[in-house]
A = this chain, B = another copy of it.
Protein backbone atom coordinates (compact mmCIF):
# COMPACT_ATOMS: atom_id res chain seq x y z
CA UNK A 1 0.00 0.00 0.00
CA UNK A 2 1.19 3.43 -0.73
CA UNK A 3 -0.63 5.19 2.11
CA UNK A 4 0.98 4.59 5.49
CA UNK A 5 -0.98 2.39 7.83
CA UNK A 6 -2.81 4.21 10.59
CA UNK A 7 -4.76 2.04 12.98
CA UNK A 8 -7.51 2.90 15.40
CA UNK A 9 -8.85 0.83 18.27
CA UNK A 10 -12.34 1.12 19.66
CA UNK A 11 -12.69 -0.67 22.98
CA UNK A 12 -9.23 -0.39 24.45
CA UNK A 13 -10.67 -0.41 27.97
CA UNK A 14 -11.30 -4.18 28.03
CA UNK A 15 -8.84 -7.00 28.61
CA UNK A 16 -8.36 -7.83 24.92
CA UNK A 17 -8.12 -4.11 24.22
CA UNK A 18 -5.20 -3.75 26.62
CA UNK A 19 -3.29 -6.53 24.90
CA UNK A 20 -4.14 -5.17 21.48
CA UNK A 21 -2.79 -1.76 22.48
CA UNK A 22 0.40 -3.32 23.80
CA UNK A 23 0.98 -5.28 20.60
CA UNK A 24 0.29 -2.34 18.31
CA UNK A 25 2.53 0.00 20.34
CA UNK A 26 5.40 -2.47 19.92
CA UNK A 27 4.74 -3.45 16.31
CA UNK A 28 7.84 -2.78 14.19
CA UNK A 29 5.80 -1.57 11.22
CA UNK A 30 3.81 0.91 13.30
CA UNK A 31 6.63 2.50 15.27
CA UNK A 32 5.87 6.02 14.25
CA UNK A 33 2.12 5.63 14.15
CA UNK A 34 0.61 4.60 17.46
CA UNK A 35 -3.06 3.68 17.23
CA UNK A 36 -5.80 6.24 17.65
CA UNK A 37 -7.84 5.10 20.67
CA UNK A 38 -11.48 6.03 20.47
CA UNK A 39 -14.50 5.36 22.64
CA UNK A 40 -16.94 6.95 24.97
CA UNK A 41 -15.39 9.87 26.87
CA UNK A 42 -17.33 12.01 29.31
CA UNK A 43 -17.27 15.80 29.31
CA UNK A 44 -14.74 16.13 32.11
CA UNK A 45 -12.27 13.88 30.36
CA UNK A 46 -12.94 15.44 26.98
CA UNK A 47 -11.87 18.74 28.49
CA UNK A 48 -8.42 17.25 29.02
CA UNK A 49 -8.29 15.73 25.57
CA UNK A 50 -9.43 12.24 26.58
CA UNK A 51 -8.51 9.60 29.15
CA UNK A 52 -4.77 8.92 29.40
CA UNK A 53 -4.01 5.36 28.36
CA UNK A 54 -1.94 4.80 31.50
CA UNK A 55 -4.91 5.66 33.67
CA UNK A 56 -6.99 3.03 31.91
CA UNK A 57 -4.22 0.42 31.98
CA UNK A 58 -1.41 1.40 34.39
CA UNK A 59 0.65 -1.57 33.22
CA UNK A 60 0.95 0.13 29.82
CA UNK A 61 2.47 3.29 31.30
CA UNK A 62 5.88 4.46 30.16
CA UNK A 63 7.51 6.21 27.28
CA UNK A 64 5.77 4.23 24.52
CA UNK A 65 2.34 5.29 25.71
CA UNK A 66 3.27 8.78 26.91
CA UNK A 67 0.64 11.28 25.85
CA UNK A 68 -1.71 8.70 24.36
CA UNK A 69 -5.38 9.02 25.25
CA UNK A 70 -8.71 7.46 24.56
CA UNK A 71 -10.59 10.17 22.70
CA UNK A 72 -14.29 10.63 22.02
CA UNK A 73 -15.19 8.42 19.08
CA UNK A 74 -16.44 9.95 15.85
CA UNK A 75 -15.96 9.04 12.23
CA UNK A 76 -14.63 12.54 11.80
CA UNK A 77 -11.91 11.86 14.38
CA UNK A 78 -10.78 8.77 12.52
CA UNK A 79 -10.79 10.64 9.22
CA UNK A 80 -8.81 13.57 10.58
CA UNK A 81 -6.14 11.20 11.83
CA UNK A 82 -5.85 9.35 8.57
CA UNK A 83 -7.08 6.06 9.98
CA UNK A 84 -7.36 3.30 7.42
CA UNK A 85 -7.56 0.18 9.60
CA UNK A 86 -10.09 -0.07 12.40
CA UNK A 87 -10.02 -2.62 15.21
CA UNK A 88 -13.31 -3.06 17.02
CA UNK A 89 -12.98 -4.64 20.47
CA UNK A 90 -16.59 -3.85 21.17
CA UNK A 91 -19.74 -5.80 22.12
CA UNK A 92 -21.27 -7.59 19.16
CA UNK A 93 -24.31 -5.31 19.12
CA UNK A 94 -22.08 -2.31 18.64
CA UNK A 95 -19.96 -4.01 15.99
CA UNK A 96 -23.11 -5.00 14.16
CA UNK A 97 -24.07 -1.33 13.97
CA UNK A 98 -20.68 0.24 13.26
CA UNK A 99 -19.11 -2.14 10.77
CA UNK A 100 -21.38 -1.14 7.86
CA UNK A 101 -20.64 2.52 8.57
CA UNK A 102 -16.91 1.85 8.79
CA UNK A 103 -16.89 0.07 5.46
CA UNK A 104 -18.84 2.99 4.05
CA UNK A 105 -16.06 5.30 5.23
CA UNK A 106 -13.59 3.17 3.31
CA UNK A 107 -11.94 1.62 6.35
CA UNK A 108 -10.70 -1.92 6.51
CA UNK A 109 -12.11 -3.48 9.67
CA UNK A 110 -10.93 -6.19 12.02
CA UNK A 111 -13.84 -6.92 14.32
CA UNK A 112 -13.06 -8.89 17.47
CA UNK A 113 -16.71 -9.48 18.35
CA UNK A 114 -19.03 -12.28 17.23
CA UNK A 115 -21.06 -9.93 15.03
CA UNK A 116 -19.94 -11.09 11.59
CA UNK A 117 -18.41 -14.52 12.10
CA UNK A 118 -21.31 -16.70 11.06
CA UNK A 119 -22.34 -17.27 7.46
CA UNK A 120 -25.48 -19.28 8.14
CA UNK A 121 -28.55 -17.57 9.53
CA UNK A 122 -29.40 -20.57 11.71
CA UNK A 123 -26.11 -20.27 13.52
CA UNK A 124 -26.65 -16.55 14.08
CA UNK A 125 -29.90 -17.08 15.95
CA UNK A 126 -28.13 -17.21 19.31
CA UNK A 127 -27.10 -13.61 18.78
CA UNK A 128 -30.62 -12.41 17.79
CA UNK A 129 -29.30 -9.64 15.55
CA UNK A 130 -32.05 -7.14 14.87
CA UNK A 131 -30.82 -6.44 11.35
CA UNK A 132 -30.56 -10.06 10.26
CA UNK A 133 -32.15 -10.53 6.88
CA UNK A 134 -31.82 -6.91 5.78
CA UNK A 135 -30.09 -6.36 2.48
CA UNK A 136 -27.34 -4.28 4.03
CA UNK A 137 -26.53 -6.88 6.67
CA UNK A 138 -26.53 -9.68 4.09
CA UNK A 139 -24.21 -7.68 1.91
CA UNK A 140 -21.78 -6.94 4.74
CA UNK A 141 -21.90 -10.55 5.90
CA UNK A 142 -20.90 -11.69 2.43
CA UNK A 143 -17.81 -9.51 2.57
CA UNK A 144 -16.76 -10.85 5.96
CA UNK A 145 -13.86 -13.25 6.05
CA UNK A 146 -13.44 -15.50 9.08
CA UNK A 147 -10.16 -14.28 10.48
CA UNK A 148 -8.34 -17.51 11.17
CA UNK A 149 -5.20 -17.07 9.06
CA UNK A 150 -4.26 -20.74 9.31
CA UNK A 151 -7.43 -21.53 7.32
CA UNK A 152 -8.18 -18.39 5.31
CA UNK A 153 -4.89 -16.64 4.68
CA UNK A 154 -5.58 -15.75 1.07
CA UNK A 155 -9.06 -14.40 1.62
CA UNK A 156 -7.91 -12.37 4.61
CA UNK A 157 -5.14 -10.72 2.61
CA UNK A 158 -7.66 -8.89 0.47
CA UNK A 159 -10.55 -8.67 2.93
CA UNK A 160 -12.19 -5.40 3.83
CA UNK A 161 -13.90 -6.97 6.86
CA UNK A 162 -12.20 -9.60 8.97
CA UNK A 163 -14.33 -11.30 11.60
CA UNK A 164 -11.79 -12.26 14.25
CA UNK A 165 -12.67 -15.73 15.63
CA UNK A 166 -13.91 -16.59 19.08
CA UNK A 167 -11.34 -17.76 21.61
CA UNK A 168 -12.85 -21.19 22.28
CA UNK A 169 -13.57 -21.58 18.58
CA UNK A 170 -9.95 -20.92 17.60
CA UNK A 171 -8.74 -23.55 20.01
CA UNK A 172 -11.13 -26.25 18.81
CA UNK A 173 -11.05 -25.45 15.08
CA UNK A 174 -7.26 -25.53 14.87
CA UNK A 175 -7.25 -28.97 16.47
CA UNK A 176 -10.09 -30.49 14.45
CA UNK A 177 -10.11 -28.88 11.01
CA UNK A 178 -7.00 -30.76 9.82
CA UNK A 179 -8.46 -34.12 10.93
CA UNK A 180 -11.85 -33.48 9.36
CA UNK A 181 -10.33 -32.06 6.19
CA UNK A 182 -8.31 -35.24 5.82
CA UNK A 183 -11.39 -37.38 6.43
CA UNK A 184 -9.80 -39.18 9.37
CA UNK A 185 -12.67 -38.90 11.83
CA UNK A 186 -15.59 -41.31 12.14
CA UNK A 187 -18.37 -38.77 12.39
CA UNK A 188 -20.95 -41.35 13.39
CA UNK A 189 -19.41 -41.00 16.84
CA UNK A 190 -19.80 -37.55 18.28
CA UNK A 191 -16.73 -35.51 18.85
CA UNK A 192 -16.50 -34.22 22.41
CA UNK A 193 -14.77 -30.88 23.01
CA UNK A 194 -14.40 -30.24 26.72
CA UNK A 195 -12.99 -26.73 26.96
CA UNK A 196 -11.81 -24.71 29.92
CA UNK A 197 -11.14 -20.98 29.96
CA UNK A 198 -9.72 -18.40 32.34
CA UNK A 199 -11.96 -15.66 33.70
CA UNK A 200 -10.82 -12.88 31.37
CA UNK A 201 -12.96 -14.58 28.73
CA UNK A 202 -16.02 -13.49 30.69
CA UNK A 203 -15.25 -9.82 30.21
CA UNK A 204 -14.63 -6.88 32.48
CA UNK A 205 -18.14 -6.24 33.76
CA UNK A 206 -18.45 -7.09 37.46
CA UNK A 207 -21.11 -9.77 37.73
CA UNK A 208 -21.87 -12.51 40.24
CA UNK A 209 -19.94 -14.96 38.03
CA UNK A 210 -16.85 -12.81 37.65
CA UNK A 211 -16.69 -12.15 41.41
CA UNK A 212 -13.44 -13.51 42.82
CA UNK A 213 -15.36 -15.55 45.37
CA UNK A 214 -17.35 -17.29 42.64
CA UNK A 215 -14.46 -18.09 40.35
CA UNK A 216 -11.57 -18.73 42.74
CA UNK A 217 -10.93 -22.28 43.96
CA UNK A 218 -13.81 -23.36 41.75
CA UNK A 219 -14.59 -24.96 38.41
CA UNK A 220 -17.96 -24.80 36.73
CA UNK A 221 -19.43 -25.93 33.43
CA UNK A 222 -21.75 -23.55 31.59
CA UNK A 223 -23.48 -23.06 28.27
CA UNK A 224 -23.97 -26.82 27.96
CA UNK A 225 -25.45 -27.62 24.53
CA UNK A 226 -25.93 -23.89 23.93
CA UNK A 227 -22.67 -21.91 23.77
CA UNK A 228 -22.44 -19.21 21.10
CA UNK A 229 -19.19 -20.47 19.68
CA UNK A 230 -20.84 -23.71 18.53
CA UNK A 231 -21.85 -22.17 15.18
CA UNK A 232 -18.24 -21.23 14.44
CA UNK A 233 -17.19 -24.80 15.14
CA UNK A 234 -19.76 -26.22 12.74
CA UNK A 235 -19.03 -23.80 9.91
CA UNK A 236 -15.26 -23.77 10.14
CA UNK A 237 -14.59 -27.43 10.92
CA UNK A 238 -17.25 -28.60 8.54
CA UNK A 239 -19.63 -30.46 10.81
CA UNK A 240 -23.37 -30.90 11.11
CA UNK A 241 -25.16 -30.02 14.31
CA UNK A 242 -25.05 -33.05 16.55
CA UNK A 243 -21.62 -34.18 15.37
CA UNK A 244 -19.89 -32.35 18.17
CA UNK A 245 -20.68 -31.67 21.82
CA UNK A 246 -18.92 -28.58 23.14
CA UNK A 247 -18.85 -27.80 26.86
CA UNK A 248 -17.06 -24.74 28.20
CA UNK A 249 -15.91 -24.45 31.80
CA UNK A 250 -14.78 -21.48 33.87
CA UNK A 251 -11.25 -22.00 35.23
CA UNK A 252 -9.99 -20.19 38.35
CA UNK A 253 -7.17 -18.46 36.46
CA UNK A 254 -6.94 -15.11 34.71
CA UNK A 255 -6.21 -16.30 31.20
CA UNK A 256 -5.67 -19.30 28.97
CA UNK A 257 -7.84 -21.92 27.28
CA UNK A 258 -7.28 -25.65 27.19
CA UNK A 259 -9.60 -27.82 25.10
CA UNK A 260 -9.57 -31.57 25.54
CA UNK A 261 -11.02 -33.15 22.43
CA UNK A 262 -12.11 -36.74 21.98
CA UNK A 263 -12.36 -38.28 18.52
CA UNK A 264 -12.77 -41.71 16.95
CA UNK A 265 -10.88 -42.48 13.75
CA UNK A 266 -12.26 -44.23 10.68
CA UNK A 267 -8.98 -46.15 10.34
CA UNK A 268 -6.36 -46.80 12.98
CA UNK A 269 -3.79 -44.04 13.31
CA UNK A 270 -0.42 -43.73 14.98
CA UNK A 271 1.31 -40.90 16.81
CA UNK A 272 3.51 -40.53 13.75
CA UNK A 273 0.70 -40.44 11.19
CA UNK A 274 -1.24 -37.83 13.10
CA UNK A 275 1.88 -35.79 13.78
CA UNK A 276 2.68 -35.74 10.09
CA UNK A 277 -0.85 -34.73 9.23
CA UNK A 278 -0.70 -31.76 11.62
CA UNK A 279 2.81 -30.79 10.53
CA UNK A 280 1.77 -30.72 6.90
CA UNK A 281 -1.38 -28.77 7.57
CA UNK A 282 0.43 -26.11 9.59
CA UNK A 283 3.70 -26.09 7.63
CA UNK A 284 3.24 -22.43 6.67
CA UNK A 285 1.79 -21.35 10.03
CA UNK A 286 4.43 -19.91 12.34
CA UNK A 287 2.05 -19.44 15.25
CA UNK A 288 0.82 -23.01 15.61
CA UNK A 289 3.16 -25.32 17.52
CA UNK A 290 2.66 -29.07 17.28
CA UNK A 291 3.79 -31.10 20.31
CA UNK A 292 4.90 -34.41 18.89
CA UNK A 293 5.68 -35.73 22.34
CA UNK A 294 3.83 -34.78 25.47
CA UNK A 295 0.81 -32.52 25.71
CA UNK A 296 0.65 -28.75 25.81
CA UNK A 297 -0.51 -26.97 28.94
CA UNK A 298 -1.93 -23.55 29.58
CA UNK A 299 1.42 -22.32 30.94
CA UNK A 300 3.06 -23.03 27.59
CA UNK A 301 0.87 -20.51 25.80
CA UNK A 302 -0.17 -17.69 28.12
CA UNK A 303 1.55 -14.44 27.24
CA UNK A 304 2.47 -15.94 23.86
CA UNK A 305 0.75 -15.49 20.51
CA UNK A 306 0.85 -19.21 19.71
CA UNK A 307 -1.68 -22.03 19.66
CA UNK A 308 -0.24 -25.34 20.85
CA UNK A 309 -1.62 -28.72 19.83
CA UNK A 310 -0.72 -32.13 21.18
CA UNK A 311 -2.43 -35.51 21.14
CA UNK A 312 -2.34 -39.05 22.35
CA UNK A 313 -3.54 -42.00 20.33
CA UNK A 314 -5.17 -44.93 22.15
CA UNK A 315 -3.32 -48.25 22.02
CA UNK A 316 -5.86 -49.55 19.50
CA UNK A 317 -5.23 -46.57 17.23
CA UNK A 318 -8.95 -45.89 16.93
CA UNK A 319 -9.36 -43.10 19.39
CA UNK A 320 -7.42 -39.98 20.24
CA UNK A 321 -7.39 -37.35 22.90
CA UNK A 322 -6.25 -34.01 21.47
CA UNK A 323 -5.25 -31.11 23.67
CA UNK A 324 -5.30 -27.61 22.23
CA UNK A 325 -4.18 -24.53 24.17
CA UNK A 326 -3.95 -20.82 23.61
CA UNK A 327 -4.08 -17.50 25.41
CA UNK A 328 -7.66 -16.34 25.02
CA UNK A 329 -6.59 -12.69 25.05
CA UNK A 330 -3.84 -13.18 22.44
CA UNK A 331 -4.28 -15.98 19.88
CA UNK A 332 -7.91 -16.06 21.01
CA UNK A 333 -8.39 -12.34 20.41
CA UNK A 334 -5.85 -9.54 20.09
CA UNK A 335 -2.75 -11.19 18.66
CA UNK A 336 -4.95 -12.99 16.18
CA UNK A 337 -6.25 -9.57 15.18
CA UNK A 338 -2.69 -8.31 14.67
CA UNK A 339 -1.88 -11.52 12.80
CA UNK A 340 -4.76 -10.64 10.50
CA UNK A 341 -3.39 -7.10 10.19
CA UNK A 342 -0.07 -8.59 9.08
CA UNK A 343 -1.73 -10.85 6.52
CA UNK A 344 -3.87 -7.99 5.21
CA UNK A 345 -0.75 -5.95 4.49
CA UNK A 346 1.53 -8.65 3.18
CA UNK A 347 3.82 -8.46 6.22
CA UNK A 348 5.32 -11.61 7.74
CA UNK A 349 2.43 -13.26 9.55
CA UNK A 350 4.15 -13.37 12.94
CA UNK A 351 5.74 -9.92 12.81
CA UNK A 352 5.54 -8.24 16.19
CA UNK A 353 4.04 -11.42 17.67
CA UNK A 354 6.97 -13.61 18.65
Contacts and interface: CB of A to CB of B under 8 A. Distances in A.
Interface residues of A, number: 72
A87 to B, nearest CB: 21
B26 A354 contact: yes
Interface in A291-337: 291, 295-304, 306, 308, 312, 314-316, 319, 321, 323
A245 B262 contact: yes
Contacts of A256: 217-219
A199 B211 CA distance: 9
A347 interface: no
A3 B195 CA distance: 52
Contacts of A224: 295, 312, 321
A254 interface: yes
B192 A262 contact: yes
Nearest to A312: B224
Contacts of A63: 286, 350, 354
Contacts of A82: none
B303 A303 contact: yes
Interface in A212-241: 212-222, 224-225
A208 interface: yes
A133 interface: no
A126 to B, nearest CB: 13
Contacts of A219: 196, 251, 253, 256, 258, 297-298
Interface stretch (A54-62, A73-81, A275-283): A54-62
A29 interface: no
A312 B252 CA distance: 23
A211 B210 contact: yes
A306 B224 CA distance: 24
A247 B225 contact: no
A199 B26 CA distance: 29
Nearest to A305: B62
Given A58-B296, A59-B299, A221 B321 contact: yes
A145 B151 CA distance: 53
B190 A264 contact: yes
A345 interface: no
Given A192-B194, A192-B262, A264-B190, A61 B213 contact: no
A200 interface: yes
Interface string A191-212: 0101010011000101110111
Nearest to A200: B213
Nearest to A246: B321
Contacts of A222: 295
B62 A306 contact: yes
B206 A210 contact: yes
Interface of A: 15, 26, 58-59, 61-64, 189-190, 192, 194, 196, 199-200, 204, 206-208, 210-222, 224-225, 242, 245, 247, 249, 251-254, 256, 258, 260, 262, 264, 286-287, 289, 291, 295-304, 306, 308, 312, 314-316, 319, 321, 323, 350, 354
24 contacts: A58-B297, A62-B287, A62-B354, A189-B190, A190-B264, A194-B260, A199-B213, A200-B213, A204-B213, A206-B210, A212-B212, A213-B254, A216-B216, A217-B254, A217-B256, A217-B298, A218-B256, A218-B297, A219-B256, A221-B321, A224-B312, A225-B314, A245-B314, A245-B321
